[in-house]
Structure 1
Amino acid sequence: MPDIEPRVSASGACKANGLVLCDDFEDASAGGAPNPQTWSVQVFQQQGRISIDGTQAHSGSKSVYVNGTGQGSYRSVLFTTTYPFPSPNNSFYTRVFLRSKNGMGEGHSTYFGAGSGDNQRMLRIGFHQYVLEANLIHPGTEYEVLSGPWGQPSQGVQLQAGKWHCVESFFDGARHELRAWFDGNEVGGLHTTNWDKNLTSWSPRYARAWFGFETYHGEQDELWYDDVAIGTQRIGCDG
């Protein structure tokens, strides 16, 4: 595995131990794209857009604005890190501060994920049935776990419209495990090792990670991302 050169901005939001990438977007120009040395932008079928916003931020004065309000049942508006995978032991932590204009809907959409270089295996975190969820794209099938009981959204984890939330994850490819935290608290329903299907050896060989809005059932939203980080240990919501 090649040595990993950390790419960490200087703000207080990027001061945690073990960081290999952290971007507060303060060095980017409002109205422009995220730093192309760290991120590549994908807008599927030109539906939606991604740009630096100087009016909303979790820290500092800027964030990444993701407009996912294009037409159609499938839309993908993503910014993908150029972090030099593979990770040590095929495992890494992420942390993102996320703000949603509309909150979560009934359909199925993704806020961030990671997967193999050929996109045949992916682990995605987003929402389904109004609650935070995770799902695995595995050759030939798909698996899902929810943060609350199906059809009872008040018992699951939800983004509040117009509020910044801290979402963390641990993609543990070495032990085929996923963990997630919301505003500092672990989401027990998303902690999985077998997807409730006795599945083993399911983790992708992680080669890419992305953030943005990918929707499959026509949901629409506008999102802001800030203080996006990848690390070798849990990052937390303070640094």
Structure 2
Amino acid sequence: MSFSARSFAFFAMFTLGSVAACGGESSSGAGGAGGSGDDAAGPGPGSTSSGPGATSGSASSGGGATTGSATTSSGSGDVAASATSSGSGDVTASATSTGAGDTTTSTAATGGTDPGGCSIFCSDFEGGSLPSELQFFPDYLRPRMGEFVTLDSTGHSGTHSVKVSGTDFSQMLGVAVPSNFWGRIYLKSATDIQMGHNTYVAAVEGNGDPNNGEQIRIGEHQCQLELNRKSDDKEKLSNGGMYMCSGGVKLVANTWYCLEFHYDGPGRSVNVFVDGTEVTAMGVTDWGPYDYKLFKFGFEKYHGGAKTMWYDDLALNSERVGCGK
């Protein structure tokens, strides 16, 4: 899968507030006073940031795959790339771009439901730099982004992934999304899933600040995968609700997992899948309605130890993408 994106406008950042917590834990961000709740952070020096331009890439096709046409582009500075997919019934989409500095790529989808292309954002992080569509949050830590987020030579499908050193309160990358979207990301951790409450990915209504707007978060708590709502700290544990390190979906160290999610803000629902199987205990049908603005991934640490995470093969789409490469 090669990197493909549609441009979206990013949003202004505001002063960080505070929210309710799991068990009333407190946390504070650099430069601000601590607050009650799982996530509370203070403002820091403002800055703006954008990543370098995307790069080209290609992939080969295997037996049974349906290969789409290569993309074409014209204009100064354009980059064109194509990709094909492997596996029976797989489909490759294509696109065309023109204009100075434009980047054109096509993206393959494998497994799950055919997405008909990557309609929101895709990247396999093989381009040598982070895609410019991704922004780092919170903004007060943006000048120190390199301490927390880097491209690593460990990849799921290729040779690179995003490495997140989860040592601060929040270190997340975000990209604009519509209020109803599907997503797929591969993730692994240097350590087993923790008892403490922390977040891996989230859909947010706000401007990307970890304390602004509603945030529906997928992460860890009680040694299992869980779904959590920031505003009132409602939680759906994957073991069905028993607050103990027993049962549920457990992510073990140094293992890649395919995490899929469907966030339907207007429809008030969230569905979560691990390695292609839905985790029904984490599904909700009455959270909302919400108007999501951003999808974020990385690590937010509310209580518990630091954590090093890797992310690869991100795909955000209007339909289910599945657990292909």
TM-score normalized by structure 1? 0.81
Select the structure that is richer in strand: 1
Match of 1:62 in 2: 160
Give the drift of 1:117.
2.5
Are the aligned partners of 1:28 and 1:35 in contact in 2 as well (CA < 8 Å)? Answer: no
Give the drift of 1:207.
0.7
For structure 1, the residue ranges without an aligned partner over 5 or more in a row are 195-199
Q: Matched residues in 1 for 2:275 and 2:221: separation?
A: 19
Alignment pair present for 1:178 and 2:178: no
Q: Matched residues in 1 for 2:272 and 2:185: separation?
A: 12
Give the drift of 1:41.
1.8
TM-score normalized by structure 2? 0.61
3-state SS of 1:238 partner: coil
Give the drift of 1:174.
2.5
Root-mean-square deviation (Å) = 2.4
Alignment pair present for 1:131 and 2:228: no
Amino acid at match of 1:69: T
Q: Which runs of 4+ in 1 moved over 4 A?
A: 6-14, 43-48
Match of 2:191 in 1: 102
Amino acid at match of 1:58: H
Q: Matched residues in 2 for 1:49 and 1:142: separation?
A: 26
Question: Which of 149, 155, 159 matches 1:50?
Answer: 149
Larger radius of gyration: 2
Amino acid at match of 1:123: I
For structure 2, the residue ranges without an aligned partner over 5 or more in a row are 8-53, 58-81, 87-106, 110-114
3-state SS of 1:235 partner: coil
| Count of residues in correspondence between the two structures | 213
Give the drift of 1:114.
1.0
Q: Matched residues in 2 for 1:237 and 1:152: separation?
A: 29
Q: Are the structure 2 counterparts of residues 102 and 203 from structure 1 closer, same or farther at C-alpha, using a change threshold of 3 Å?
A: farther
Q: Matched residues in 2 for 1:225 and 1:214: separation?
A: 14
Q: Matched residues in 1 for 2:245 and 2:319: separation?
A: 31
Amino acid at match of 2:307: D
Are the aligned partners of 2:260 and 2:272 in contact in 1 as well (CA < 8 Å)? Answer: yes
Amino acid at match of 1:115: V
Q: Matched residues in 2 for 1:203 and 1:125: separation?
A: 18
Match of 1:197 in 2: none
Provide, for residues 69-108 of structure 1, a one-character-per-residue CA deviation record: whole Å limited to 9, x for no partner: 34xxxx1011111x3x4x2xx2101110001001211110
Identity rate of aligned residues, in percent? 33
Match of 1:26 in 2: 126
Matches within 5 A, 1:109-188: 109-118=198-207, 119-138=212-231, 141-148=232-239, 149-188=241-280
Give the drift of 1:35.
1.9
3-state SS of 1:153 partner: coil
